[in-house]
Structure formats: C-alpha cells, structure tokens
Amino acid sequence: MAGLELLSDQGYRVDGRRAGELRKIQARMGVFAQADGSAYIEQGNTKALAVVYGPHEIRGSRARALPDRALVNCQYSSATFSTGERKRRPHGDRKSCEMGLQLRQTFEAAILTQLHPRSQIDIYVQVLQADGGTYAACVNAATLAVLDAGIPMRDFVCACSAGFVDGTALADLSHVEEAAGGPQLALALLPASGQIALLEMDARLHEDHLERVLEAAAQAARDVHTLLDRVVRQHRAELRGGHRLVLGAGFPAADPAHLHVGERHGLHHGGGAVCGRRPCPGFCPGLRRPPQEVGGSASGLA
Amino acid sequence: MASVTLSEAEKVYIVHGVQEDLRVDGRGCEDYRCVEVETDVVSNTSGSARVKLGHTDILVGVKAEMGTPKLEKPNEGYLEFFVDCSASATPEFEGRGGDDLGTEIANTLYRIFNNKSSVDLKTLCISPREHCWVLYVDVLLLECGGNLFDAISIAVKAALFNTRIPRVRVLEDEEGSKDIELSDDPYDCIRLSVENVPCIVTLCKEEACSLASLLVSVTSKGVVTCMRKVGKGSLDPESIFEMMETGKRVGKVLHASLQSVVHKEESLGPKRQKVGFLG
C-alpha cells in the first residue's frame, strides 16, 4: 500500500511492535458449560471461540466410521460482523470450507485418534472479530478446547503467522500487514518435538529467505506455547482450588466458566435485579454434568 | 437445546409446583434467571452486546452501512436482521442444520420491529430517496439453553442502544451532484433512541413439559407489538388473555431493569474494564 510503511527505519511496525513481537494474547478455557470442551482466545483484536463435542458416535452415515481411529470433523465459521466489510454468509463459502479442512488436517496430526475407534470428534471454531492471523487464533483456541474436553493429544498445537518485509521477517501479522500483499506464512507446530503439523505460504518468496521466515514463525509458535501452557495450568489450579467458583444452595461445584454475575463487574446486582418481583435467588440453576477435570493436560500429553 | 428427558412423574411434579407458583429451581412463576448483559464486546462493529441468560449465550453485532431507501418508504432507513445458529450450540446446527431455526427467529424479529414506533427510522435517513443508513443486526447464537427469544430481544435492544452511527453531511455541488462527507471526529455520532424497542416475553407452562407457548413482544410502556403462539399443542382462549396480561406486567419490569443496567454500564465510561468472554 503506497504511503503505509509496514516497517519503519527504527524497526517498528504499524502498531508499534518489533519485528518478532507477538500481539497480546489472553485466553480462557471452559467458556460454555454445555459443550464437552470450549475455549476463547484473543490475539490482539482477533477473537476466536472454539467448541469441542466428543468423542461421540458418528452422526449421519455409519459408513464413514473408521475402524481403527476416530473421525475428526472441523467447521470454521466467522461471524458476519467480524470483518470490516460485513460478510454475507458465516460459513459454507469456499474460504471457510478450506479453513475447516486445514484445521482437520492439523488436528488429525495431534489428537491420539487410535484411542477412540469408530467415533467422531467435532471441533467448531467461530471467529468473532478478524484482525489478521485468524487461522493461528483458531488453532490455538481449538487446542485449548480439545484439552478442556479431556481428549488426549500428542502435544499442544501452537500456530502463528509470519511475513517478510524489507529483508526482515515479521511474526504475527495483523490485518493491515496481511492486506499489504507481501508473502504470508502460516505455521502450526507441535512444540515439544518441533514437528510441523501444517505449513502454508501465499505469494512469492525467494527460497533464500524461507528459512528466516520459518524460524520467525517457529519461535513465535513456541512463545505462544508458553502462554497457552500457563493458561492450562491456571485453569487446572482453579478447578482444584475452586477460588473462582460460587457454590449456592448445595448445587454441585460449577464450572468456573459458569460464573455467577456477582463476579463480573457487578453490573447485574448493582443495577437492581432483572428478575421480577422477588429478589434474585442468587444462584444459577445447577449443572447436570459433574465438573470436568482437565485431565487432558496431565495425562493427555503423551 | 437442552435435551433433557423427563419422566411422566417428573412432569406431573413440575406442573403441580407451577400451580403453587414454585418452579424447580426455586423461582416464582414470573421470575427470570440471572441475566448478564455486556455491550461493546466486538470493537469493529457500530454496536454490539452479549447476553447470557442461564445457559443461553447470545452475541449481537450491529453494523451501519449506507444504502438506498426502500421505494415505498423513501424518507426512512431500515433494519435487516440475520440470525446465525452456530454449531457450537449443538452439533445439529453444523452446516445448514441451524438455518431453519435461524430463519424463524429472524422472521419473528422482523415482525416485532415492523411498526412505526419501535425505532425511529426517520433518523436513519440521510437524503430522501437517495441515501439512508441500513442497520444490519446480526445475531449469533452461541449456546442454547432455553428461552431463546427473550434473550435475543434483550441482546438486540442492548446492541441498538450501544450503536453509534457516524454523523454525515450532504454537500451540494454547483452541478447539483451530492457528496457525502463523513465527520472527522470518531466520537461525533448519532445514537438511536431505544425507548420503544420491544422485548419478547415467552410464556408457557414450564418449557420441558409444555406443548405450546406464547411469545408476546412488549415495549417499555406496556404496548404489545406482536404476539405469536409456538409449539405443537393448543391453548385455551382465556389462558391467552391471561398470558398477555402477565406478559405485559413482566415486560415492563424487564424493560426497566434493562434500561437501568445499560445506562449504568455506559456511565462507567470508556475506562471500564471490558470482560467479554474472558470473565
């Protein structure tokens, strides 16, 4: 784009980051109580939600069942208000189908599918706001969701995008940098072994530069792994310690995601109960499932 | 949707309890569960809101775009609704599975807003017959846990309250061609008055064991804008009138609480900590 400097002379990018710096990542596991596993991640302004159902019996035709392993089914959907220009269809278009296939390929490499033959694992990813790096955010959210569901995986799957401008490799591209038209590399990595689950590159890049860009993406993915690992351990500590839980009237310990309103910034109760004549009972109706141990993180990392 | 199977004895127990004005979780017949409302969750929209009502989670985003007014209403802008039932709610919504429910909800929303008083559409007009604002209201169903219509209408109202439409000026050239100039200040915008936006109140005899329910859409003044019966069973005419009265009563209280909460949230100002899904 004429006039927009992606990398200034002092080495700062458009949003003030350095070349190898990631955007701020915040993540949370166990967002929804009804799904088997769920997670939410924010990478800068890109917000993605992932929900996992499974392993369960194959839906639809039984003929698709694989006799020795589980079927991984992914759907990628982005909200119509996620991009700057409103999208017409949330899913079903070509790009969403392609992303779904890529996610499936990524997770078939990581999930120990031999442990669940003839069953199906559904991974649904929803992008709420897209500001570059949507594939990476989806993979990171899906990893956390699969761990939340307790499905055993070989390793974390951490993803990051990378680009190349003015002889420097940039990590974690934002929308502005992606739209500039330079080469873009998307990498999904299994950090412990260093194995690559998915590698994709668009646009022209001289092969001499490939190694540098690949290394930048791999380093960024390893940084993401450190963050995700911290999130998982914190979530497990919360489940065990129960500090964020609100127990009410003998109901079983609620999933920490299922926060009572009072724990938020006091909006609901401070402003007067939304309920009718009687005062709000002060608890949310009990869950029917027992709290889930995030066993995936301890025993699943085989 | 919560797929809970109840035995006959449990259904009888629930119905008896309702007759005593006592529901399974201790609420009275006219009480809502705790509702969490948060606005401005998605930053690249004109307005957004997230509502969590029990296990039901809804996210609404409003985008304002310029378009041409409809032929029969040249002085007004309009609203377009789109409902996306995400597969994260239940695996049955994967692919096109959620389209039926989505169209039904979108049609209901069109009906309740299809009257002169809900939203002042004349404020959305820029120049008659040529330009107007079109508000695309997109509803995303993230989790279904019962009482969908109520939660959606609360979310739509909160999102419309949060919507900020930039101020535009129409400049007339010498040749007569018009140019639209967007105001430079990002905070200079018009807000919609959502006082008369209705909320839907669903009335039935305990969702899991009732056959039919009545949706009543009520404004804050108690005016009924739309009424619809859903479900397989049939309703007595007397009970319909009774349900309507209850709906009006409950609707007024709901509106009052929602207005106070949303105004309070806004008064916290831009410094408030945005929680979103991280809380």
pLDDT per residue as tens digits for the range B232-261: 777 777 777 887 888 888 888 888 888 888
Does the pLDDT at position A189 exceed 90?
Answer: yes
Q: How far is CA A295 from CA A81, A149, A226, B159, in A?
A: 36, 9, 19, 38
| A49 has pLDDT over 90 | yes
pLDDT (mean) for A135-140: 95
Size of interface A-B (CB pairs under 8 A): 173
Tokens linked to B170 = 């129409």
Residue A221 has pLDDT above 50, yes or no: yes
pLDDT at A297 over 50: no
pLDDT of residue A126: 93
Q: Is A91 exposed, middle or buried (0-12, 13-18, 19+ CB in 10 A)?
A: buried
- Predicted confidence at residue B194, as pLDDT, reads 65
Q: Which secondary-structure segment (H or E) carries B138?
A: strand B131-143
Using the predicted structure, report yes or no on whether residue A290 has a pLDDT greater than 80.
no
**What is the pLDDT at residue B271?**
66
Name which residue leads in pLDDT, A302 or B114. B114
pLDDT of residue B28: 67
Q: Which residues contact B137 (CB under 8 A, 6 or more apart)?
A: B60, B61, B62, B79, B80, B81, B82, B109, B156, B159, B160
For residues A93 and A71, give the distance between their C-alpha atoms in angstroms, rounded to a whole number.
23
**How far A211 CA lies from chain B's nearest CA (Å)?**
35
pLDDT at position A287: 37
CB contact under 8 A, B34 and A261: yes
Share of chain A above pLDDT 70, in %: 78
Tokens of B70: 């409809």
Residue pLDDT, tens place only, B172-203:
776 666 666 666 666 666 666 666 666 777 77
Q: Which of residues 58-97 of B touch A (CB under 8 A)?
A: 59, 61-63, 65, 82, 84, 86-89, 91, 94-96
Domains and CATH numbers, chain A: 25-272 (3.30.230.70)
- Report the distance separating Cα A38 and Cα A49, nearest Å: 7
CA distances from A207 to A110, A177, A214, B88, B279 (A): 28, 21, 11, 41, 45
**Cβ–Cβ < 8 Å for A26, A139:** no
Mean of pLDDT values over B132-151: 88
Contact A42 B278 (CB under 8 A): yes
Q: B194 φ, ψ to 5°?
A: -105, 25
Cα(B265)–Cα(B274) distance, rounded to whole angstroms? 11
Report the alpha-carbon distance of residue A292 to residue A92 in Å, rounded. 33
Task: Residue window 26-55, chain A: list those with CB within 8 Å of chain B.
Answer: 26, 28, 31-35, 38, 40, 42, 45, 47, 49, 51, 53
Q: What is the pLDDT of residue B37?
A: 87
Average pLDDT, chain A: 80
| Mean of pLDDT values over B114-124 | 78
